[in-house]
Amino acid sequence: MSPARRNQAQRAADAFGELHGTAPHGVWSAPGRVNLIGEHTDYNDGFVLPFALPHRTAVAASPRADGVLSVSTLGDDGRFRHAAPVAVADLEPGGVSGWAAYPSGVAWALRAEGLTGGADLVIAGDVPSGAGLSSSHALECAVALALLGLAGVAEDRPRIARWVQRAENDFVGAPTGLLDQTASLLCTEAHVLFLDVRSGESEQVPFDTAAQDLEVLVIDTRASHSNTDGGYGARRAGCERAAALLGVRALRDVGIAELDEALGRLPDELRPLVRHVVTENERVLRAVDALRAGSPADLGPLLEASHASLRDDYRVSCPELDVAVASASAEGALGARMIGGGFGGSAIALVPVDRHEAVVRRVLAGYAERGWATPRTFPAVPSAGAGRDH
């Protein structure tokens, strides 16, 4: 177990002891993610290629006999926030708001499967929140594993991912796909996860950038983003409308060779959405080929093309993301792009290690010139997925 993971698990266990006066029954944790490529393809039944971050959310948990769910979280400032305790049997969508909706939603989704009772949960972690690095799914996946662990239920990770998606879609109210929770649950160290969302089939593809003197630099723009505020849902609805007009189950079914013909059958406003999804799926396949061939540097142009497509066709970028990407590319990154839902959050850049300092300096200078808050940057190493810590 990495020292960072052990540290978060210990923080959660210590915080549990402080609040409840006993050691927890167990501690489970789950990571945030970076999606190397394959954005806004998951809810179109397409392909994605994420890896897990070293940053994790840990949940220390013990069962309760009274059927009540109590959730507390330890902030960076060392202070606790407590959700109002609620009987699991009483959980209903709309009944819990704010951060507590995520753990409550998971308990609600598991309740529907007859899989959860009451529990005391104490949360600690270091996944940056609101940064497009999937802190909400790290929390949900860690809670899901904790509640299932307390119930003594053997884990089937793809099924757990579906339950977490139900929590997110129907309880929290974010119409998101399967990318983030699957990444958090299935990723492994030193690999990217090549996932075919429609079939559920996945492959662990080795991703060792250090061997080629490269790194994936994460640039958290600190521009806030949310998947519940309408922009994300509008894109998703547009894709579903386009699929219906084309007579296919999902845009996944439009191959790159049929793209022009398909675009000709669509109204103007839907064409850019379809062009993005179809070309992005193709880029994921090409990225996997590059990695299988041991040529991660070939990802560079694919990342650039992905960003341009998300910016110009899908229109989910923002000035902060565009400046991060342009600055990194201008200073020697092989490629860069926004990641996640967009409208803020983070970008990644594939950077030769010896260009790290220069790239970071250029990005920071670009932000300072515009009077924007200083972005947070760090190199991300593909790390372990969710699991039990102790």
Catalytic site residues? 180
State the minimum distance, in angstroms, from the CB of residue 43 to ligand GAF.
6
The 170-189 contact track toward ligand GAF, x by CB under 6 A, reads ------xx-xx---------
Return the half-sphere exposure (C-beta side, CA atoms, 13 A cut-off) of residue 158. 8
The 218-257 contact track toward ligand GAF, x by CB under 6 A, reads ---------x------------------------------
State the minimum distance, in angstroms, from the CB of residue 170 to ligand GAF.
14
Alpha-carbon distance of 359 to 356, in angstroms, equals 5
Say if residues 148 and 160 touch (Cβ distance below 8 Å).
Answer: yes
- Options 36-44, 94-102, 242-250, 317-325: segment touching ligand GAF (CB under 6 A): 36-44
User: In the set 11, 27, 34, 43, which binds ligand GAF (CB under 6 A)?
Assistant: 43
Closest CB to ligand GAF among residues 39, 45:
39
Alpha-carbon distance of 171 to 350, in angstroms, equals 36
User: In the set 40, 55, 252, 275, which binds ligand GAF (CB under 6 A)?
Assistant: 40
Query: By rule CB under 6 A, what count of residues binds ligand GAF?
Result: 11
Residues in 300-359 that interact with ligand GAF by CB under 6 A: 340-341
Q: Residue 165 forms beta bridges with which residues?
A: none
Beta-carbon contacts of 108 under 8 Å, excluding residues fewer than 6 positions away, are 88, 91, 92, 93, 167, 171
Alpha-carbon distance of 376 to 373, in angstroms, equals 9
State the minimum distance, in angstroms, from the CB of residue 287 to ligand GAF.
14
Alpha helices in 221-298 (DSSP H): 231-246, 259-264, 271-292
- Options 34-42, 91-99, 189-197, 319-327: segment touching ligand GAF (CB under 6 A): 34-42
Closest CB to ligand GAF among residues 107, 178:
178
Closest CB to ligand GAF among residues 180, 282:
180
- Options 37-45, 56-64, 184-192, 300-308: segment touching ligand GAF (CB under 6 A): 37-45
Closest CA to 250 of 346, 339, 178, 303: 178
- Options 4-12, 39-47, 260-268, 352-360: segment touching ligand GAF (CB under 6 A): 39-47
If one asks whether residue 42 binds ligand GAF (CB under 6 A), the answer comes out as: yes
User: In the set 29, 39, 192, 217, which binds ligand GAF (CB under 6 A)?
Assistant: 39
Strands 68-74 and 118-125: parallel
Closest CB to ligand GAF among residues 73, 184:
184
Say if residues 227 and 341 touch (Cβ distance below 8 Å).
Answer: yes
Say if residues 134 and 180 touch (Cβ distance below 8 Å).
Answer: yes
Beta-carbon contacts of 238 under 8 Å, excluding residues fewer than 6 positions away, are 269, 270, 273
Strands 191-196 and 47-48: antiparallel
Q: Residue 378 forms beta bridges with which residues?
A: 218
- How are strands ordered across the β-sheet holding 191-196? 47-48, 191-196, 202-206
State the minimum distance, in angstroms, from the CB of residue 8 to ligand GAF.
22
Alpha-carbon distance of 239 to 220, in angstroms, equals 28
Residue pointed to by tokens 């179109």: 44
Closest CB to ligand GAF among residues 337, 355:
337
If one asks whether residue 45 binds ligand GAF (CB under 6 A), the answer comes out as: no
State the minimum distance, in angstroms, from the CB of residue 29 to ligand GAF.
20
If one asks whether residue 280 binds ligand GAF (CB under 6 A), the answer comes out as: no
Closest CA to 358 of 317, 380, 327, 336: 327
State the minimum distance, in angstroms, from the CB of residue 166 to ligand GAF.
13
State the minimum distance, in angstroms, from the CB of residue 151 to ligand GAF.
26
DSSP 277: H
Q: Residue 35 forms beta bridges with which residues?
A: 50
Contacting positions for ligand GAF (CB under 6 A): 39-40, 42-43, 176-177, 179-180, 227, 340-341
